[in-house]
Homo-oligomer: A and B are copies of this chain.
Amino acid sequence: MSIAPGTAVEALDTPVLLVDGDALARNIARIKDLARHAGIAYRPHAKTHKSPLIAAMQIDAGAVGICCAKLAEAEVMAAAGIDDILITTEVVGAAKIARLMAACRLARIRVVVDDEKNISELAEAARAAGIRLDVLVDVDVGMARTGVATAADAARLANIIARAQSLRFNGLQGYHGGLQMMAAVDERADQVGLAMDRLEAAAELVRSERLEIETLTGGGTGTSVVDLAAGRLNELQPGSYVFMDASYSAIEWRDGAPPPFENALTLMATVVSRPAPEIATVDIGYKAASMDSGPIRPIDLPGAAFTFMGDEHGRLTFENRLCPLAVGDKVHFIPSHCDTTINLYDRYVVTSAGTVTAIWDIAARGMVQ
């Protein structure tokens, strides 16, 4: 179904994923100002938006490049002309490494490693492809998800990379996803301090072995307020700032205030049933909004709470009052988690002041390999 620019948002069919293009532009400008003021480079994580078009907007605004979580995302970005990409998760196995070599013909792509055999395979493939691949050592800074566990392991792998003629040692990555959503900024800052101590210990050992660390990367939207002030990383990886969501909007940025980014991403639903006086059923369920971070948040519906009711339905319950909605009414929500909600849709409907301005493909949706 094609949608013409100029269409009123309320006339759109639902469920639909909406982007406020003006709020998006302000978020993109705001991170630029914050990073410039701090004198720290930033490389937005494209795993959030999955759109080469938004990636290009971020780079135009001053980002040094983008991050991708998966090789398949990087392939989409590189094919669309994004030319500086860091893949922030390990690229493992012969099939993926062969694809990586092909993608490296289109863009400068850096990878992270935490395993010696993986380094050997990358080195051999890069040698055969006649390229020199930039490699960072991924350091576990407390999450026990990926990354080497000790500074000694980091230094050992850095040396192996540095000795491989087809590889170039580029630096260290230390990312802790578990800290991003800590509500209180003081507690978050304490924990980020501990994580950065671990990264710094690895960095010091690497430097003591006369290897240069060009890039020290990590951080996310939630920790960026701390990372920008601390200056311990020289490249940040914020992703969600571009859209925000109900989870990130609920954390403290500074002095009790929320983050300085706007909710640019919303869902519009239709009331499809009114099964009881205090209840409206809408056409958003698990297939139209992710629930890994809890319920979506109704906009401009005081007293209404959302509950998922299966794959296709959600329930709005109005506390202590009758539901004011009728079958056919449109309602708006803020997703609880932007990345995974976006992963359910093939396109953004971009709006300005309640009118459609553009349709953007979510070109890297579902690119999990």
Within the complex, which residue of B90, B271, B344 is in contact with A273, where a contact is CB–CB below 8 Å? Answer: B90
Provide the A174-190 mask, 1 if CB < 8 A to any CB of B, else 0: 00010000000000000
Minimum C-beta distance from A163 to chain B (A): 20
Known interface pairs A92-B272, A115-B327; A369-B339 also in contact (CB < 8 Å): no
Known interface pairs A14-B369, A90-B273; A340-B286 also in contact (CB < 8 Å): yes
A308 contacts chain B at the CB level, 8 A cutoff: yes
Q: In the bound complex, do residue A275 and residue B145 qualify as a contact, i.e. CB atoms below 8 Å apart?
A: yes
A47 contacts chain B at the CB level, 8 A cutoff: yes
Main SS at interface, chain A: loop
Q: In the bound complex, do residue A149 and residue B275 qualify as a contact, i.e. CB atoms below 8 Å apart?
A: yes
> Within the oligomer, what is the number of copies of this chain?
2
The B-contacting residues of A in range 95-138, CB under 8 angstroms, are 95-96, 99, 114-115, 117-118, 138
Provide the A272-291 mask, 1 if CB < 8 A to any CB of B, else 0: 11111001010100111011
A346 contacts chain B at the CB level, 8 A cutoff: yes
Q: Nearest residue in B to A148 (C-beta to C-beta)?
A: B275
Known interface pairs A292-B286, A311-B340; A369-B144 also in contact (CB < 8 Å): no
The B-contacting residues of A in range 308-361, CB under 8 angstroms, are 308-313, 315, 327-328, 337, 339-340, 343-346
What are the residues of chain B within 8 A of A274 when measuring CB–CB? Answer: 115
Q: How long is the Cα–Cα vector from A156 to B327 in the complex, in angstroms?
A: 18
Q: How long is the Cα–Cα vector from A144 to B283 in the complex, in angstroms?
A: 14
Q: In the bound complex, do residue B366 and residue A345 qualify as a contact, i.e. CB atoms below 8 Å apart?
A: yes
A1 contacts chain B at the CB level, 8 A cutoff: yes
Q: Nearest residue in B to A293 (C-beta to C-beta)?
A: B286
Known interface pairs A145-B281, A345-B366, A368-B288; A312-B70 also in contact (CB < 8 Å): yes
Minimum C-beta distance from A116 to chain B (A): 9
Q: In the bound complex, do residue A146 and residue B366 qualify as a contact, i.e. CB atoms below 8 Å apart?
A: no
Known interface pairs A328-B92, A340-B286; A146-B368 also in contact (CB < 8 Å): no
What are the residues of chain B within 8 A of A345 when measuring CB–CB? Answer: 366
A89 contacts chain B at the CB level, 8 A cutoff: yes
Q: In the bound complex, do residue A145 and residue B309 qualify as a contact, i.e. CB atoms below 8 Å apart?
A: yes
Q: In the bound complex, do residue B369 and residue A1 qualify as a contact, i.e. CB atoms below 8 Å apart?
A: yes
Q: In the bound complex, do residue B279 and residue A315 qualify as a contact, i.e. CB atoms below 8 Å apart?
A: no
Q: In the bound complex, do residue A114 and residue B145 qualify as a contact, i.e. CB atoms below 8 Å apart?
A: no
6 extra interface residue pairs, beta carbon distance < 8 Å, beyond A14-B369, A47-B312, A146-B281: A90-B272, A138-B273, A283-B368, A292-B308, A311-B339, A311-B343
10 nearest A-B pairs in the assembled complex, by CB-CB distance: A146-B273, A13-B95, A144-B275, A115-B327, A288-B368, A90-B272, A92-B272, A69-B312, A286-B340, A286-B292
Q: What are 24 A-B interface contacts by the 8 Å CB criterion? A: A13-B93, A13-B95, A14-B93, A15-B369, A47-B311, A89-B313, A92-B270, A93-B270, A114-B273, A114-B275, A115-B273, A118-B328, A143-B309, A144-B315, A145-B275, A145-B315, A146-B272, A146-B281, A147-B273, A288-B368, A291-B291, A311-B339, A344-B368, A345-B366
